[in-house]
Every structure is written in structure tokens, then in C-alpha cells.
Amino acid sequence: MARRKYVVGNWKMNGVTASIADAQAIFAAAGDHAGVDVAICPPFTLIGAMVAAVPGAEVGGQDCHSAVSGAFTGSVAAPMLADAGASLVIVGHSERREGCGESDADVRAKAEAGLGAGLSVILCVGEPCEVRESGRAIDYVLAQIAGSVPDDFDATRLAIAYEPIWAIGTGLVPTVDDVAAMHGAIRGALAARFGGAAEEDMRLLYGGSVNGDNACELLGAGDVDGALVGGASLTAAKFLPIVAAAAKL
């Protein structure tokens, strides 16, 4: 059975209560594309309100702490996300790795925490510009995979999002061949480590300046099962064309 397409919106530090109307519009229209799974990860402050406003929608957190609880001011634990109604969490986004100094070991611990709390996990990897230009992108990303992906998990509950750092929010996009090559390498590494489940059940997403104009081409690349979308996920007008593109595939 083919892996279902998966389109996830990462609202980052954007959105207030009034923004729930955009989420309602997105989820309502996404229902017309039954073959695509759609999720939104708003700021922590909106998770409960979004879950309440759109019952049954897949809503997630943008990060979690590796500990279940404790003296970690300003942090959010995975069980807290689940308690608020979230069903998934993003870990290892480059804005956390780069801006907050998170290591592969940190990301792995967060992924384990999310899975342990019953959440699905989207684990992000991606190379900076200088690594891409040096020709070491695949080796760099596969090292992140080796260090960040837990050893024991349900393959249906862990997705990998490849987001080249130089493409996030810049408008720059790798070639379709480059995306296919990276996703193929990731799939191969996961299959070698975990066997058939990595090929049959694990979804690989692409992220980085995805929009309605390029979504069909990017999502049609080999081993691309969907998209992790940033700025274009904030409104129905920009996000829904990406969902529609996934549905066509």
C-alpha cells in the first residue's frame, strides 16, 4: 500500500486567538482531499483552542522537552502537549538546532519523549549552505539521521522532514533531482537500519520555501511523501494549494 501524503503546517511564532479562523478554513477545505493527511502545529498557546475549535483535527506542538516534568522554566513537556490535545510534535527543526544549540543527542531524546507520551513525531534534518556547496550534504544529513533517530519506535508514528537550512524562508529551493537524491539516501539509510518498516510506513517530508507554485513538482519527487510548510501555512489561501497538489499525486 502506498504511503499517504502528509502536509503539515508549522506556524512557528505566529498566531493569536483570531488566527483560529484560518485553521478552521484549512481543515474544512482539507476534508475535500481525503487522500491527504493534514496537520497544523501552532504556537503552544493555541493548541487547546485549535483542538476545541476543530474537533478531530491533527494539531501538534513545535517542540518539547526531553523530560516528563521538572524545573525547566519556559519549556513544555510532551505529556503536556498530549494533555492539551496535541497528537504530534516537531523536534530537531533547524531553528532549534541552530538557534538553541540542540545536538543530535538532544533531538533524539526529545523524539523519544514525544513517542513515549503517545505523540507522533516529525524529526527534522537538513544541511547549511556551506555544506551543500562543499558537496557533503548527503553525508551531513545521514549523520543527523544516525544520531537523532531513536532505535525503537512505531514506524507509522515517526516521520522525517528534510529541510535544507539555506532554503527555509529564503525563497531558494533545491532542484527536484537534489530533493529526490536526498530523500532516496535517507530512505536507504533508514531501510538499512530498520528494515521493511522504514520503506513501507515511514513518511519523508520536504520543507523549505514550499508554495502552491512548486508543490506539485517537489511532492512528486522520488521518496517525497509530503511537506512541512512554514510561512505558506498561515492562511488557507496559501496552504490549501499545497494540499491540493499533494492530492493530485
How many Å apart are CA 164 and CA 183, to the nearest integer? 12
pLDDT at 210 over 60: yes
pTM of the model: 0.97
Q: DSSP letter string over the chain? A: -PPPEEEEEE--S---GGGHHHHHHHHHHHTT-TTEEEEEE--GGGHHHHHHHSTT-EEEES--BSSSSSS-TT--BHHHHHHHT--EEEE--HHHHHHH---HHHHHHHHHHHHHTT-EEEEEE---HHHHHHT-HHHHHHHHHHHHS-SS--GGGEEEEE--GGGTTTS----HHHHHHHHHHHHHHHHHHHTHHHHHT--EEE-SS--TTTHHHHHTSTT--EEEESGGGSSHHHHHHHHHHHHH-
Share of the chain above pLDDT 70, in %: 100
Residues annotated as catalytic (active site), given as ranges: 93, 163
Q: How far is CA 210 from CA 24, 83, 136, in A?
A: 21, 31, 23
Q: What are 37-66's pLDDT values in tens digits? A: 999 999 999 999 999 999 999 999 999 999
Mean pLDDT, rounded, for 168-195: 95
Q: What pLDDT is attached to residue 2?
A: 76
Three-state SS string over 47-61 comes to: HHHHHHHCCCCEEEE
Name the grid cell of 58: 491533527
Contact 245, 219 (CB under 8 A): yes
Between 1 and 156, the higher pLDDT residue = 156
